[in-house]
Each structure stands twice: as structure tokens, then as C-alpha cells.
Amino acid sequence: MSPHPNLEAFLVKLEGLMIQKYENCILQSKYLTCKAASNKTVGSVNKTVFHINQNSLTEALEEIVKDVRFMFERRGTRMGKDHPSPGKIAGVIVYRLSRSHIVHLAEGCVSCDFQCASRLNYEFAIRCAVEYVGIKYSRIPKEISKELLYSLSLRHVNQETLALVFDTIIQYAPT
């Protein structure tokens, strides 16, 4: 028996919310601007710009559940009622989603000079984590979201560092 009796219910709920939030992020992506198409929205260029690999999304969700379960089991009774923090779980979410190859760009988008959609996977991961902690993505200062995108795509980050970032965002994000 798990040291946390509500762990299984929490993990099932977390997985359901992640799928819902990921789908919401995908729907929001239609508002991306395609610079090569005279600033029209992606949906208006009548081409598929990207597609979602459902297997990769499922695998990422399984890894998130494993990581959170391990966190609870490893820490056991040492955790208080507020632990792990929402930022800690958000760090796991953004790390696993950003490291999985979920979003695949179509050929025309890959060869485009503007690369306006090249970081969709990272942006989706950040949006899901931010929504998990209950903050609107638009409330995060642009310099922070740009730095997160840059770090996820071009630097080494881990779940622990991302957890600290999200705990800080929770603490200081404008409401």
C-alpha cells in the first residue's frame, strides 16, 4: 500500500488534466502568426504546419506519472501537507513534455527562413506547466518566457532546476 492513500487518484487526475491542458494549448496554437504567409494565422495558410505524435504524448504522460509517483514514494512521510510543491510537479511536467518529440513540423515549416513554429513543443510544455500551477501564460513576463524557451531548447536543464523556476514564478508572477 502506498504511504499516500490518495496518490493513485491524484495521478489519474493529473494525467487527465495534462491531456486536457495539452489539447487546449494545441487549440491556442492556431493563433500563431506565420511570417511567411503575410502575417496570417497558421490555420489560414491552408497547410498543415505541424502534427501531434500521440504516442510521444502518451509516453511523456507515463513518465510524468512515474516521476511524481517516485517523488511521493521516495520522500514518504517526510513530506508535509504542501509537498511536493506545485512548482515541483510543474518542473516534472515541463521537463518531460519538452524532452519528448510530440510536435512535428511539416516540411514547409521546417525549411522556412522564419522558423516561427520551431519551438512549439517547448512552448506547449511551458504553457501546460504554467496552467498546472494556475497562472495564465500571458501573465508571465516576456523576458522570463523567452528565457525559459531558450533554456529548454538550447541549454541543459533538469527537473529540479525547473521546479525552482516554477516555484519562483508562483511566488512572484503578477496576478
Cβ contact 166:90 at 8 Å: yes
Instruction: State pTM to two decimals.
Output: 0.76
Tens-place pLDDT, residues 115-166: 666 677 888 888 888 888 888 888 888 898 899 999 998 999 999 999 999 9
The 3-class SS string of 28-55 reads HHHHCEEHHHCCEEHHHHCCCCEEECHH
Tens-place pLDDT, residues 36-91: 665 555 555 555 666 677 788 889 988 998 998 888 877 666 666 656 788 999 99
**Average pLDDT of 90-118?**
79
Nearest to 164 by CA among 87, 60, 52: 87
Residue 24: alpha-carbon gap to chain centroid: 12
Position 123 scores a pLDDT of 84
What's the CA gap between 78 and 81, in Å, rounded?
Answer: 10
